[in-house]
Structure 1
Amino acid sequence: MTSNKLRRQPLYEQIKQLLLRRIAEGEWQEHAALPSEWELAEELSVSQGTVRKALTELVGEGVLYRHQGRGTFVAEAASDWGEARLQTIGTRAGRQEALMQELLGCWKANAPEEVSELMGLRRLVPMIRVRQLWRLGGQPVALDDAYLPAERFEGLEARWLRQAGGVYATLQRRFGVRPKTVMEQMRVATLAREEAQLLLVTTDTPALAVTRLSVSIEGEPVEWRMRYCLTQQVAYTHLR
């Protein structure tokens, strides 16, 4: 972020961006306590009110959380899986079984036309493509392909994803970006041969195709994700 751009921002917004950058650089890990409002105000040479407004926005955006009487803490990064659950068909509630996430690859690729259009990018813009497999009870149940702007996330590599435990945790820890899903669409789809092989099914097996668009706190598109989910034995469920 340039100094000119910072000067055009309100002071609390500059403090907010500074705190995000420090979190991204690992100064405070997940569930670590930040210094008090007074300490931050003194360190940054601003008023306590300015610090409080910056912290309040970060709490509202899910980057931080507060414990009454204890302070402000760094929130856990969002899961790549999202808000949906896989649970027994026909049940209204119940515990979601633990999904195991497996990174299959991370490489550069040109954006598919659908992706570039939805993200407001030029055609064939370089992207980082991340492929992940999800297992339930050891069996493949879903396959993800995530696309991220290569210019925005320059240097992102597979070892970061493995260390952090996923795309969203990596974006928060390495780049100070906490993705927020703003669109999710579902449809029935047939699987291409490669996807079918990875999910250990035949190409005529129907799958639930879930597309998801996520943006940064500032509203900048940062990820488009396609998920093929097998739902013959379980339901893909959003609980409200």
Structure 2
Amino acid sequence: MNRNQLRRRPLYEQIKSLLLQRINDGEWQVDEALPSEWDLAEELSVSQGTIRRALTELVQDEVLYRQQGRGTFVAESVSDWGDALLGSPGAMGVGGAAPLVELLSCSRANASVEMAEALGLRRSEPLWRLRQLWRYQGQPIALDDAYLSCEKFEGLDARWLRQFGGGVYATLQRRYGVRVMVKSEQFRAELLPREEASLLGQVTSIEVPALSLLRLSVSMTGEPVEWRQRYCLTQQFAYVVTP
């Protein structure tokens, strides 16, 4: 076996990438079934075991989901909110809920040093700034600023975001064929900045503490896509992260 063969990606990974590209290209829509493992194996001239391993990894990546006896289906994109829920403080093991989102604005900004480094861009490169307000039980509870490359996502506007329900990730999937996953998140306690405090209804002379979240999201191929800052009020509700 020569050196080039040793460097070659395993066949199931090649099939996984091919299927992912076809999903991103819109060949199969959300909740639509893929062909059977045997049909895909015949079409792609590989073994059924290779197809099964590729599909299994896509299920683990939450790109697909399986239903016993029915087949393998395309999953909805991940939620902008993420996997966390909001619930009553101290109520361990009691189910919470995710808040509802409202798009406030779609504007342009310039990449800071931290954003540029995380997204693999030049400092001060133009970014889309997508501001979202989250409500829980009718109350403003969190505020997000999501930043995306203007060059990579040309033509993005509020109309597209509202058409797809205000979700950034749903818009990226359906408009640009890019599925995202959260690569990393950081949490810390901060005082709420004045502008964010006003948008969250905290009109007071007293400084308001908040949970600050920084998130880096990437494409399914590992390319940096989004840098997100969230401020979440947790005086009344707990930010519940489940395994």
For the aligned pair, the TM-score class normalised by the smaller chain equals: 0.7 to 0.9
Unaligned 5+ segments in structure 1 are 1-7
Q: Structure 1 residue 205 and structure 2 residue 208: aligned?
A: yes
- SS at structure 2 position matched to 1:121: coil
Spell out, residue by residue over 1:159-205, the C-alpha distance to the aligned partner (whole angstroms, 9 max, x if none).
Answer: 33223231122223333333222221122222333212210103622
Q: Structure 1 residue 219 and structure 2 residue 222: aligned?
A: yes
Spell out, residue by residue over 1:60-102, the C-alpha distance to the aligned partner (whole angstroms, 9 max, x if none).
Answer: 2110112233211111211111121211112112232451110
Q: Point out the more displaced range, 224-233 or 168-177.
A: 168-177
Alignment: residue pair count: 233
Distance 1:154 1:16 in 2: 27
Match of 1:174 in 2: 175
Structure 1 residues 150 and 193: CA distance shift in structure 2, 3 A? same
TM normalised by structure 1 equals: 0.85
Match of 1:76 in 2: 76
Q: How does 1:79-228 map to 2 (within 5 A)?
A: 79-165=79-165, 166-202=167-203, 204-228=207-231
Structure 1 residue 211: Cα displacement = 0.8
Q: Point out the more displaced range, 28-37 or 227-236.
A: 28-37
Distance 2:112 2:227 in 1: 11
Q: For 1:206, give the aligned amino acid.
A: P
Unaligned 5+ segments in structure 2 are 1-7
Contact 1:23 1:29 in 2 (8 A): yes
TM normalised by structure 2 equals: 0.84
Instruction: Calculate percent identity across the aligned residue pairs.
Output: 65
Structure 1 residue 235: Cα displacement = 1.2
Alpha-carbon RMSD:
2.3
Structure 1 residues 98 and 183: CA distance shift in structure 2, 3 A? closer
- SS at structure 2 position matched to 1:171: helix
**Structure 1 consecutive aligned stretches of length 4 or more whose deviation exceeds 6 Å:** none
Contact 1:25 1:173 in 2 (8 A): no
Q: For 1:127, give the aligned amino acid.
A: L
Spell out, residue by residue over 1:99-124, the C-alpha distance to the aligned partner (whole angstroms, 9 max, x if none).
Answer: 11101122332112221123332211
Q: Point out the more displaced range, 42-51 or 23-32.
A: 42-51
Distance 2:174 2:48 in 1: 26
